[in-house]
Amino acid sequence: MRLSFACFLLLFATVSSVNGPYRNFINQHINGGMLENRCDQVIGSRGITVADSNRCKETNTFIRATTNHITRICVSAGEPYGVLTKSLQPFDIVICRLRNQGASRPHCQYRGQSRTRRIAIRCEGGLPVHYGGDIVYFDN
């Protein structure tokens, strides 16, 4: 019985250690209905800043997709890209760039741009945990 409980605790600790970064990834980068003119509102309401500070992020990218579509990149819809995994298909994204450099929350002001790009993410335990960037692709 003790061995089973110990295994359960180990499994729970492993899932919890990935679950935090996965939830953070969802908060910072997934928004299926994101619009170019909503960067200020969405970034503000989600509390997205430079890690461990109140400083506005220079750039934040939102992927217009569901968590299931993004998670599939880690499992079957991606290919190795250095330490990251690159999506096999392009995604609609909104790139929010800071307009007022050096600002701190709640005074972040962004300009949004829509793009269609393949994306590169870092996966842990079959879940996306870090947005590595977008990749310009050429459809032949």
Catalytic residue annotation = 29, 130
Per DSSP, the residues of the chain read -HHHHHHHHHHHHHHHHHHHHHHHHHHHHB-TT--GGGHHHHHHHHT--STTSSBPPSEEEEE-S-HHHHHHHHHTSEEEETTEEEESS-EEEEEEEESSTT-BTT---EEEEEEEEEEEEEEETTEEEEEEEEE-----
